[in-house]
Amino acid sequence: MTDATRPIITRFAPSPTGYLHIGGARTALFNWLYARGRGGKFLLRIEDTDRARSTAQATEAILDGLRWLGIDWDGEPISQFARADRHAEVAREMLENGHAYRCYATADEIAAWREANPNQPFQSPWRDSNEQPDLPYAVRLRAPREGATVITDAVQGDVTFQNAQLDDMVLLRSDGSPTYMHAVVVDDHDMGVTHIIRGDDHLTNAARQAQIYDAMGWKRPVFAHIPLIHGTDGKKLSKRHGAVGLHEYAALGYPPEAMRNYLARLGWAHGDDELFTDAQAVEWFDLSGIGRAPARLDFKKLEHVSGWHIGQMEDAHLLAELNAFRAAIGDAALDATQTARLMPILPVLKEKAKTLPGLLEQASFALTERPIPIEEKASNSLDTVSRGMLNELTAALQHATWSRDELEQAAKTVAESHGLGLGKIAAPLRAALAGKTSTPSVFDMMLALGRDEALARLQDQAG
């Protein structure tokens, strides 16, 4: 099989020690887009070798985060810890072929050597020894000392590491357990991974891992190290910049479609395109579009992207998203009456909404039952004159056809009879219909509520 016909296989390999970080979510998305756009496979590996910190709850949180983001994977997730025997098998094979050796140096001896040789990679005295004392030992890679290891990176270009600056990394600890650096290579090889797309904080690891590939005679994968995400101040993203966990963005009410679009643009570009569909992202995504400079988190841009996707959604799909969001925050799904009131005005609301809770806030008039609670600011518009106008309007609307034109004309006629413009009756109408000062158009609300409910709310506040 030639490289041209070799199927594309990417992977996402999180450590289950906490929530799914937004940077990890973007890494998963890049790998998913690259594989899906080329008819390849996207695999999931849980790097759970840190038994003290790895938890089943954290693993499930990561899987839930990926599901929410809309990222599916091929096959079952692979446990790195469960493959420890295979990792040890490869290390023993490297011992047999001379590409690894037994190192009997103790922790104290290594610490003393490093103290005497600051800023130098550890050089084991056992590297060229034929002795095999009956003592605990670690298995170390017999890395080349001369020349350089060059990583041909699809994002960073050729990156050169002088071998003299790389130590003989440990493959197996003295208790026989494999190290993370070794396990990653064995797993990626056995899983057939062709492209490793990950953060550029792993770039130095790539040099050490490439030496294992070379020692085993395995074909190196294509490496693509992507810049990390920074905050608006240009510093590495942390909690001080706001939400960093994917679950926090879900709780803020950004739809998954918007997060996929936004995350794809964090460090990758397709011309000047800022807003695009999933199908376009899958078609367009390529490693050549990834920049070398760190991406910066921008909540205003995220809101813009989110608003566009909400506006593009089919109403039925948006309703499902709203109910999913309500379920996530512990609220019940919209009932039949609420849904019937919401659907007529949803096309109007979604054009201005930036987030799902923002849309629900504007839709609150349709979701609230009588008697409508009146906010203090809104109640200021319900003086004696205003209540009298509402009473007149209620009477005028009893036999209206309930069209927008007729509703507007009736309100205009009542206002003019008091020497006022249409705008002067809008405020008390808002208060009566929604109990708020910031709402959709009063006539859109009346149409959505229907004749009986709208008139009942006006009568509640009429003088």
Active-site positions read: 239
Q: Is the sign of the CA dihedral 300, 301, 302, 307 positive or negative?
A: positive
2, 189 contact by CB (below 8 A): no
33, 281 contact by CB (below 8 A): yes
107, 87 contact by CB (below 8 A): no
Task: State the Cα–Cα distance between residues 302 and 154, nearest whole angstrom.
Answer: 27
Task: State the Cα–Cα distance between residues 278 and 421, nearest whole angstrom.
Answer: 47
Q: Is 110 exposed, middle or buried (0-12, 13-18, 19+ CB in 10 A)?
A: middle
Annotated binding residue at 350?
no
Give the DSSP per-residue string, 293-358: SPEE--HHHHHHHHHHHHHHS-HHHHHHHHHHHHHHTTPPPP-HHHHHHHHHHHHHHTTT-SSHHH
Count other Cβ atoms within 10 Å, centred on residue 213.
16
381, 428 contact by CB (below 8 A): yes
The tokens for 323 are 């109910």
Task: State the Cα–Cα distance between residues 260 and 284, nearest whole angstrom.
Answer: 14
Task: Say whether the peptide bond before residue 371 is cis (omega within 30 degrees of 0).
Answer: yes
136, 174 contact by CB (below 8 A): yes
What residues are designated binding site for ATP? 239
